[in-house]
């Protein structure tokens, strides 16, 4: 006879409704760019390249600026992609003009900070795009586009 697993008392067996979840987490979430790109600006006269930077120096500099809650990866272009979890960390990085003794200009990633979704609801078909954009503004929606399926 197969063993049955004990019930976990710390969580319910049913899934919660989404409106209950939004009440607990708060509907006005603080939207901020989570993915930042650090392109290193260096002059050829200095003979300093990003590839020559120590990974330990990069990690230590990031830890001094924003703590240890980040994820960093080197892009194929040689730039550094940093994912932060708090708005304060993003603002701290945006203010930086130098990173590990190199001049930098920190920007948001072009595509990783956006999400596209499709809503198919009959009740919303009669609404204008402006009304939909205004209605979903709290959730960080910045653009609405209608699609037609044949």
Domains of the chain: 35-108 (3.30.70), 115-150 (no CATH)
pLDDT, the chain, mean: 78
Largest CA distance in the chain: 75
Question: Mapping DSSP to helix (H, G, I), strand (E, B) and coil, where does residue 99 land?
Answer: strand
HEC assignment per residue over 119-143: CCCHHHCCCCHHHHHHHCHHHCCCC
Structure confidence at residue 9 (pLDDT): 56
Q: Is 136 exposed, middle or buried (0-12, 13-18, 19+ CB in 10 A)?
A: middle
pLDDT higher than threshold 60 for residue 12: no
How far apart, in whole angstroms, are the C-alpha atoms of residue 134 and residue 117? 16
Q: Kindly report the pTM of this predicted structure.
A: 0.62
Q: How many residues make up the chain in this entry?
A: 150
Structure confidence at residue 5 (pLDDT): 52
- Render pLDDT for 30-80 as a digit per residue (tens, 0 to 9): 678 999 998 876 544 455 555 667 889 989 999 999 999 899 998 888 888
- Render pLDDT for 90-133 as a digit per residue (tens, 0 to 9): 999 999 998 888 888 899 998 888 888 888 888 888 899 999 99
């Amino acid at each position: 006879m197969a063993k049955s697993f004990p019930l976990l008392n710390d969580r319910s067996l049913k899934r919660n409704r989404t409106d209950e979840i939004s009440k607990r987490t708060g509907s006005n979430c603080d939207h901020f760019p989570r993915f930042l790109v650090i392109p290193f600006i260096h002059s050829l006269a200095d003979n300093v390249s990003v590839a020559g930077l120590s990974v330990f120096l990069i990690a230590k500099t990031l830890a001094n600026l924003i703590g240890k809650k980040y994820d960093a990866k080197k892009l194929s272009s040689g730039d550094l992609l940093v994912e932060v979890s708090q708005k304060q960390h993003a603002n701290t990085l945006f203010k930086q003009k130098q990173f590990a003794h190199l001049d930098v200009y920190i920007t948001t990633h072009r595509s990783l900070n956006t999400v596209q979704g499709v809503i198919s609801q009959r009740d919303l078909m009669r609404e204008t795009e402006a009304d939909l954009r205004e209605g979903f503004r709290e959730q960080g929606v910045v653009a609405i586009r209608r699609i037609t399926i044949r």
